[in-house]
Amino acid sequence: MNDLEQLVQDAQAAFALALAPADLENAKARYLGKSGSLTEQLKALATLAPDEKKARGALINAAKQQVEAALTLRRQALADAELDAQLKAEALDVTLPGRQRGCGVLHPVSRTMERIEAIFGSMGFDVAEGPEIETDWYSFTALNNPENHPARSMQDTFYVDMKDAEGRWLNLRPHTSPMQVRYARAHAEKHRGCDPMPEIRVIAPGRTYRVDSDATHSPMFHQCEGLWIGENVSFKDLKVVFTDFFRNFFETDDLQLRFRPSFFPFTEPSAEVDIAFSSGPLKGRWLEVAGSGQVHPNVVRNYGLDPDRYIGFAFGMGPDRLTMLRYGVNDLRLFFDGDLRFLSQFK
């Protein structure tokens, strides 16, 4: 093998060893660059005699063409490999199923809340929301439940070791009844000078808290307060409103109501409301669904109203319990575990 054949072979081997375009260009420089070995051969022609020059020149040119051909081939091979790798990396399997958009649904208790709001809304009740961190005054004192009175322990309240700006102790509201006072005071303020004052008709749904936990009690639960105050609102109206509400809510007239005497500091007289279905799986069982009563004069006074003139009723019901009854759920805690196997049944 002569020196030019050797050179061609070396160049081909060097190109084959180049695994990336940059390596290949370096290898090219060693043979075809300004001081590459083939270029040096061409420069050396100048020292030869004219007839040798021609023959040698032809040989060098032939070698150069071979080296250039090898370079072109290798360049193409590297470019192809690069494209191949890129295509592989970015490959799309168009046969894979698309990513579905998860579609959530309203929590069953939220559905109940919306239902309650819609039904009472249709009876002319406003919907109000209030703070879950409440002051002692709104949670108890204003509701005719004096400091140190044993009736305060009817509710195992979560007290917060903190006072508000006016020095009133804070608690996690144990019921939505503070909203009676908040709403009525704002209403009385707004209509000061109107005679008579437009009636108060409001419900106040929301979260409430008590130190309590078993299959039918959760430390966080829901209540919906109701209040109707006017010059001539009586227990009869409470009965009509409740009967209407429950028949609407459960979509059946096959349902009876019972008012059972009870005690709440803020109502007098007071009653627990029970319902019983006349058919279905719960047939004939009395189920407690709300507390209620005629608002106590001391509380009406705390609304900023004259109890000799304004009278009415309040009630507090448990939307969690209503949800359990409506959907046949037997453990309240299921609502708050966040288990999708349970929740997705409400789709």
- Binding-site ranges for ligand PHE (CB under 6 A): 175, 177, 264, 267, 270, 291-293, 314-316
CB of 175 to ligand PHE, least distance (A): 3
**Cβ pair 292, 316 in contact under 8 A:** yes
Residue closer to ligand PHE by CB (options 74, 175) is 175
How is residue 343 written in tokens? Answer: 């929740």
CB of 340 to ligand PHE, least distance (A): 31
How is residue 68 written in tokens? Answer: 């250039």
Contacts of 280 (CB under 8 A, 6+ apart): 254
CB of 317 to ligand PHE, least distance (A): 8
Residue closer to ligand PHE by CB (options 36, 318) is 318
Residue closer to ligand PHE by CB (options 108, 293) is 293
**Cβ pair 24, 15 in contact under 8 A:** yes
CB atoms under 10 Å from CB of 150, counted, come to 7
Residue closer to ligand PHE by CB (options 36, 312) is 312
CB of 98 to ligand PHE, least distance (A): 49
**Cβ pair 144, 180 in contact under 8 A:** no
Residue closer to ligand PHE by CB (options 15, 228) is 228
**Cβ pair 4, 59 in contact under 8 A:** yes
- Rounded to 5 degrees, φ, ψ at 334 are -55, -30
Residue closer to ligand PHE by CB (options 144, 267) is 267
CB of 270 to ligand PHE, least distance (A): 6
**Cβ pair 270, 292 in contact under 8 A:** yes
Residue closer to ligand PHE by CB (options 209, 277) is 209
Contacts of 5 (CB under 8 A, 6+ apart): 63
Radius of gyration of the chain (CA): 44
CB atoms under 10 Å from CB of 162, counted, come to 9
Residue closer to ligand PHE by CB (options 36, 316) is 316
Distance from C-alpha of 251 to C-alpha of 58, rounded to nearest angstrom? 104
The single-letter DSSP state of residue 278 is S
In our burial notation (b when 16+ CB lie closer than 10 A, e otherwise), range 282-309 reads eeeeeeebbbbbbbbbbbbebbebeeee
CB of 122 to ligand PHE, least distance (A): 21
User: Which residues lie across from 271 on neighbouring strands?
Assistant: 261, 292
Residue closer to ligand PHE by CB (options 36, 174) is 174
Residue-by-residue DSSP string for 30-51? HHHSTT-HHHHHHHHGGGS-HH
CB of 94 to ligand PHE, least distance (A): 59
CB atoms under 10 Å from CB of 231, counted, come to 11
CB of 152 to ligand PHE, least distance (A): 12
How is residue 271 written in tokens? Answer: 């009653």
CB of 215 to ligand PHE, least distance (A): 19
